[in-house]
Structure 1
Amino acid sequence: MIPEDNRFESDPDDVLPEDPGLPAGWLADTPDPTDAATVARLTELLRGHERVGRGWAGAGEDDVLVEISAHGTAMRENLVVRDPEGTIRAWGSVHDRAEGRMLFVHVVDRELDEHLADRCSDVLFEWAEAQAKSVGAARGLAEQQIDTGAFAEDERQHAWLADAGFDRVRTWWQMSRSVEAAEAELVPDPTRWERQGVVFRLVERQGDGMPSEADLRAIHDVLEGAFTDHFNSAEETFHEFIHRLREDPGHRWDHWWLAEIVDGDEVEPAGALIGTVSESSNGPDGSYVSYLGVLESARGRGVATGLLRTIIADAASRQRDRVGLEVDADSPTGADGLYTAMGWGTKYVTESWHRQVPVT
């Protein structure tokens, strides 16, 4: 289910000026995903970025490979900046996430002095702007959004983003909830249970072990419908949706749940939850709610609560110790109230920063 061809410019020389403003001996090129040293170095940079931004590092090599592997670059492009010794000092990654929305990863070595760090940052922003024009033109758009994130406490990143013309547009609470072993009994069976005319079940599996396409399309349709009016919602095709979610290192088909309203012979999809595994190297793994959506027509029937209870029970049955999720701090739906009432608390805070780039 790989989407259309990459819409970015793969050769940095095609999008950067002949002199990008780097010191003598420094260069910008593309990373080699097959080189173990490259993957290790990018992981080191990303972990350093996280450690300063939120106080601890969680990224691993799988997170880097999502961005730079041949599979990942079906919808992405990458740039690295190397010093005269060949050491990677900065890394940028762009992702053609959906029509009109391009995600941008911007990481600069925390060990660089201010002047060199500024130069590297400028190159990443200039490259990202050119890539935004490329992908926007390929999609036939007049304007392309660049969407990037920052930790709430990362003042260096904030200053760079503001200077590059980005606006801080949203705040997100990264929440976590501990899970107790006894909560495996929170629902009768996480694979399938029913309450007040609503069935909560895993996606069905076919003879080859792959999930039912009809169920996957139902989940896609529910999430597209549930998030239509949400902040920065952008339509995503079914194939783009499946391709992107399967890239997640924590992806598991047995973490996809569908909620259906059953009225006699009538069965209507009403809600969906997509979970992932949060692996830990020094303790129990956790579960993560990547997506939770309920159609407006089904709200007030306990669908969201039932789906959350399901993933908590599933996590407990797998001997996991936590369930994480992200919530829009500015959402008018009051979802944070539900999460707080069910035991979630904020672990750290992130922000969305946007810039609109004219394509022509």
Structure 2
Amino acid sequence: MDDLTIRPAVPADAAEICDLLNAVDLIEIGRAETDLHSVRDDLSHPEAGLAENSWLAHRGDRLVGYGLMWDDSGADRIDMDSYILPEHQDAGERLLELMEAQAVRRAAANGADRAVVHLHLNVRPTLDVSLLTGRGWRTVRKYHVLTRAITGAGDPVPSPPEGIALRDCREEADRRAAHALVEETFAEHFDHQPSTYQKWLDDLGAHIDWSRVWIASAAGSGDVAILLTRNDRESMGWISALGVRKSERGRGIAGYLLRHAFGVYAGYGRDTIGLGVDTENVTGALRLYEAHGMRTHFAVDTWEVTLPVSGG
């Protein structure tokens, strides 16, 4: 088709992009779960560089595809998102071409001799995956989004284990401590990219409520765990991060923090809470969550391709 046009996104496109993402949600998971403010946060991120790192594919006046790229590693690892309506696979292929070319340019600018690009897609995506395999992409990891029904009567806020104290992160010093805990407890996780404190704040966006971020401290050990949650999703409460220092694992701290989130969000009147987990996480996170009644809502594959930098 010759009526396809592609241009960079601008912040004013947020509502149109959100509508597209929710149309994809409906097809892939059966319900719309993308919030407008999350799209706005992506488009207003200080490092977004929309002119070079975003793409809108229109067919006539209709938005049929969207791509966004970011570079957290400052080296060869590049990440991208791609959304396409299923009847417009030619637009999806064109977006892949443009994003791959930009990934190579980003890696080259970082001084790398290759671009290792990751793309996260639903296991039953609207994008025809033969377009990926035909270009050398392969799946390297699987994530599950897990959810659980919660109620005020069934999920009271638990008392902490003996020797454990909990505090929120409304104070700046505690926010910095929370960042340090995230960096430490997630350092060995697949695809974790270290970040500065300011970069972490930028990635969290403007809607983070620090009264819903908690640090657990243990008598004699100091700060040992982090629980970062969000109440800004329309569809459910959300656990963004739950991490326990390696030396303190096996003491029941992670299970306590999970139950704390259940109880707090049930108290807010939420009926569902969710989180994302790497199914190959070596800490046993998936088993912990399933043991606490969480079940798979949908699954996501991480796709990877390695692209050489010319002259590398």
State the TM-score, normalized to the length of structure 1: 0.78
Give the whole-Å Cα distance in 2 for the aligned partners of 1:70 and 1:155: 26
Which letter does structure 2 place at the counterpart of 1:63?
A: S
Pair 233,344 (structure 1): closer, same or farther in 2 beyond 3 Å: same
Give the whole-Å Cα distance in 2 for the aligned partners of 1:145 and 1:353: 10
* 1:312 and 2:288 correspond: no
Partner residue of 1:256? 213
Partner residue of 2:73? 98
Give the whole-Å Cα distance in 2 for the aligned partners of 1:92 and 1:287: 27
Which letter does structure 2 place at the counterpart of 1:134?
A: R
Give the whole-Å Cα distance in 2 for the aligned partners of 1:70 and 1:226: 25
Give the whole-Å Cα distance in 2 for the aligned partners of 1:168 and 1:108: 19
Q: Secondary structure at the match of 1:181?
A: coil
Give the whole-Å Cα distance in 1 for the aligned partners of 2:113 and 2:149: 46
Residues 47 and 59, structure 1, Cα contact 8 Å, conserved in 2: yes
Give the whole-Å Cα distance in 2 for the aligned partners of 1:231 and 1:150: 16
Pair 176,199 (structure 1): closer, same or farther in 2 beyond 3 Å: same
Deviations 1:154-204 (A, max 9, x none): 27442222222221011112111111112563324xxxxx4322212211x
Partner residue of 2:176? 217
* 1:290 and 2:240 correspond: yes
- How far the C-alpha of 1:70 sits from its partner, in A, is 6.3
Partner residue of 2:56? 80
Pair 186,357 (structure 1): closer, same or farther in 2 beyond 3 Å: same
Partner residue of 1:198? 164
Partner residue of 1:26? 4
Pair 51,286 (structure 1): closer, same or farther in 2 beyond 3 Å: closer
Give the whole-Å Cα distance in 2 for the aligned partners of 1:25 and 1:349: 34
Give the whole-Å Cα distance in 2 for the aligned partners of 1:71 and 1:298: 36
Partner residue of 1:273? 227
Q: What is the 5 A alignment of 1:339-354?
A: 339-354=289-304
- How far the C-alpha of 1:25 sits from its partner, in A, is 4.5
Larger Rg: 1
Q: What is the 5 A alignment of 1:93-172?
A: 93-99=68-74, 100-112=76-88, 117-118=89-90, 120-154=91-125, 156-172=127-143
- How far the C-alpha of 1:71 sits from its partner, in A, is 4.8
Residues 286 and 324, structure 1, Cα contact 8 Å, conserved in 2: yes
Residues 33 and 70, structure 1, Cα contact 8 Å, conserved in 2: no
Q: Which runs of 5+ in 2 are unaligned?
A: none
Residues 21 and 34, structure 2, Cα contact 8 Å, conserved in 1: yes
Give the whole-Å Cα distance in 1 for the aligned partners of 2:249 and 2:8: 47
Pair 157,56 (structure 1): closer, same or farther in 2 beyond 3 Å: farther
Residues 86 and 127, structure 2, Cα contact 8 Å, conserved in 1: no
Q: Secondary structure at the match of 1:235?
A: coil
Which letter does structure 1 place at the counterpart of 2:238?
A: Y
Which letter does structure 1 place at the counterpart of 2:77?
A: R
Give the root-mean-square deviation of aligned CA atoms: 2.4
Give the whole-Å Cα distance in 2 for the aligned partners of 1:154 and 1:122: 14
Which letter does structure 1 place at the counterpart of 2:161?
A: R
Residues 45 and 203, structure 2, Cα contact 8 Å, conserved in 1: no
Percent of residue pairs bearing the same amino acid type: 25
Q: Secondary structure at the match of 1:244?
A: helix
Give the whole-Å Cα distance in 2 for the aligned partners of 1:128 and 1:24: 20
State the TM-score, normalized to the length of structure 2: 0.89
Partner residue of 2:196? 237
- How many residue pairs get aligned? The number is 308
Q: Secondary structure at the match of 2:57?
A: strand
